[in-house]
Structure formats: structure tokens, C-alpha cells
Amino acid sequence: MHSGKLVFAQLMEHLPLHTFRRCVRRYPAKYPTKTFSHLDQFLIMAFAQLTYRESLRDIETCLRAHQTKLYHLGIRSHVAKSTLADANEQRDWHIYADFAMSLIQTARKLYEDDCFAVELDQTAYALDTTTIDLCLAVFPWARFRSTKAAVKLHTLLDLRGNIPSFIHISDGKMHEVNVLDILIPEAGSFYIMDRGFIDFARLFILHQAQAFFVIRAKSNLAFHRVYSHAVDKSTGVRCDQTIALTGYTISRNYPQHLRRIKFYDAEHDKHLVFLTNNFDLPALVIAQLYRCRWQVELFFKWIKQHLRIKAFYGTTENAVKTQIWIAITVYVLVAIVKKQLKIKASLYTILQILSLTLFEKTPLDQLLKEMEQNLTMPQNTKQLNLFG
């Protein structure tokens, strides 16, 4: 039997600790670090994410039950609920945000040659926002409405590998369209957005940066048709037009022509209208690109279901952002391990395996590949399917 490192320690070996220490030095902390280091804080919070701990007390109880194994997990400090709570509240969340972004850059390089549903040479991003509801009495700093609190997670998802390339966490009052003011457009890239992001002044800034956008049009759009292109209606494309905006304000905010594409989605029996500043790609490809926007919806659904970002271990803004950024780091770390070990199983499957095996000593690559083989083996047809 293998007598090496625990699975959790093997997983954490894929972290660039020199980068983590550089992030820590960037934001000096007044809170004591000799008895409870930033790395211990990160490892405990990552453990909580991977094992679905419900609260700080739950984290403390679980780790104290494995007291003799903490050193082998990489945790050097005594685990106490109050110590972890104080660290989450007082240590700058930017440390974990910067570390997550460094891992994101690593992951994007690993996935840059992956294909997605559309054959496209350029980089394609899906931009969207999700709201995480909070209790106003417990999180008064995150006021959203008169009786409700929330934080918003604004995410730009690279469709190659579904890796978030940009994330901004705000309170609930920030409108999603305002995130376009923070983004730095990449020339030649595609930005796919829902109609909540329609602001023609901001879209024109994207256009001037030589970036392309694909966005769903609103039904009350004021325009006149300049030219109609021939279309193959058997593909679902109903029209492909060059248009000029005619509203008094929007025509000044976006003074150039746009492309308007109407598409019939037979699967959902819906007519969809898209606007884009790209006049080169076929109309069907533009429609297919917009369909890929659902990947960011699936990303939000995935992290809400499988990581701890709906129930928080602390109530301050710093504690909430620390937990969200460490959750994102865990997501990206698992994506990196999946690619480096050439595992074909989904991130969901890998997380399920890890949640039950963190204290085992099986080599990580062997563990994941054996589990992957077991999952792909034909099942006994006489056995009842619990999830059928």
C-alpha cells in the first residue's frame, strides 16, 4: 500500500506557493501571522470547500477529529473557530483575489488550445452576473433593496475550458452593465452578452477597441434597415441585416452601422434577435456563439451547487470576499489538475471523488484514473438506477 502523502497534500502541491507568498507580502497584515499563517488559513478554507463544511464550528470539529493528520495535510497551526473567524475578517481579501487570478492565468494557458462548440480562431468570452442573496440584518454592508441584501458576482468566462478570466464582486446595488467600465477589452476577441448589458455608448467603446460583441437585442430597438443579406432559412436564420440606429440618443452613442440577425430556435420555439459589430462571420455562427453564452450560466450554477458560496462562514465584507475568492481558487485548481493529469472526468466528478478521499494516501493520478475507469465501466443492467 502506498505510504506517501495524503490526497489533500498532493492536490495542494499543484499550487505555486512562491506566488502565494508574493501575494501575502503585497498586503501586510496587522493580524498575527506567526501562530496562524496565511497558508494555514488558505488550506483550511480550501479543505472546507472540498468537503462541503457548513460552518466554522463544522470545520473545527472535522479537523480536530483528524488532529494527528493535520501536519500531513500541510496545516501547521492549531485549528480554532475563533482564530479562523478573526483571520477571515481581518486579513485582506485581495491576497486571495490576486492568487486566484494568477492561477486563472495558468489555467487559461493550459486550455488555450481546447475547442468549444464553435470553430473560431479568436478568443470568445461570455459575460454575465449572478446574485447571491444575503440576510440584510446579518450583512448590512451589502444592502440591495429595502429588506434584502446581496452580493453580485460579475464574471467574464473564457469559453475555452470555461475558465473565468475576470471576476468582480460588488454589492447588490451595482447594475451589471457597469462592469463594462471595468473591463479592459482585448482587440479581436468576442464578448457575448445578454440584453441586460445593452448600453450603446459602452458597446461603442468595445467597438473602438477593435473587439467584437454579440448581444441580444431588445424588442423596442429603434433602427432602420440599410441592407438585407441573403440567408438560408433552413438553418434557422430568418434575416441578416445591416442597420443604423435611429433613436435620438442611441444614434449618437453608437453612430456606426450594426448587424442585426434574427434566428428561430426550433428547440425552444423562440425567435431571437442578435446585434453584433462583426460583419465577417456567417449569421449562423453568430447565433451559435450566442448559444455558448449559456456556459457562464452553467458556471454560476456549478459553483453555487458544488462550492460554499451561498452559506458564509463570516458576516463582514472582507470575510465574504475571502471565502468567494478561495472558492474560485479551488475551482481553478481542480481544473488545472484535471488538465495536467489528463483526466477526462468532469470537474463535478473529480470534486465528488476528492471530497471523500482527502485523507487517503493513494497517488492522486492513480486515484482519479481508477475512479474514472470505474465510472465508465458498463453497469449491471439488473441493478436499480437510483437517479434514473
Q: What is the pLDDT of residues 349-367, one digit of tens each?
A: 888 889 889 999 889 988 8
Assigned domain for 189 exists: no
250 and 154 in a common domain: no
214 and 152 in a common domain: no
Residue 234 pLDDT exceeds 80:
yes
Task: Compute the C-alpha angle 281/268/133, nearest 5°.
Answer: 95
159 and 258 in a common domain: no
135 and 235 in a common domain: no
207 and 59 in a common domain: no
Q: What is the pLDDT of residues 271-316, one digit of tens each?
A: 999 999 999 999 999 999 998 888 888 888 877 776 777 678 999 9
CB-CB contact of 264 with 238 (8 Å): yes
130 and 244 in a common domain: no
168 and 201 in a common domain: no
- Interval 52-65 mean pLDDT: 91
Structural domains of the chain, count = 2
169 and 33 in a common domain: yes
Mean pLDDT estimate for the chain:
88
Residue 330: which domain range? 1-115+126-177+296-373
Assigned domain for 121 exists: no
Please report how many Cα atoms fall inside a 13 Å half-sphere around the Cα of residue 31, on the Cβ side: 16
Cell of 152: 453580485
How much is the pTM?
0.87
50 and 8 in a common domain: yes
Question: Which of 150, 151, 154, 182 lies closest to 167 in space, CA to CA?
Answer: 154
Task: Write the DSSP symbol of residue 263.
Answer: E
Assigned domain for 388 exists: no
**Domain termination site, one of 260, 292, 324:** 292
Q: What is the pLDDT of residues 173-227, one digit of tens each?
A: 899 999 999 999 999 999 999 999 999 999 999 999 999 999 999 988 999 999 9
Q: What is the pLDDT of residues 135-188, one digit of tens each?
A: 888 898 988 888 889 999 999 999 888 889 999 999 888 999 999 999 999 999
Task: Write the DSSP symbol of residue 222.
Answer: -
β-partners of residue 212 are 190
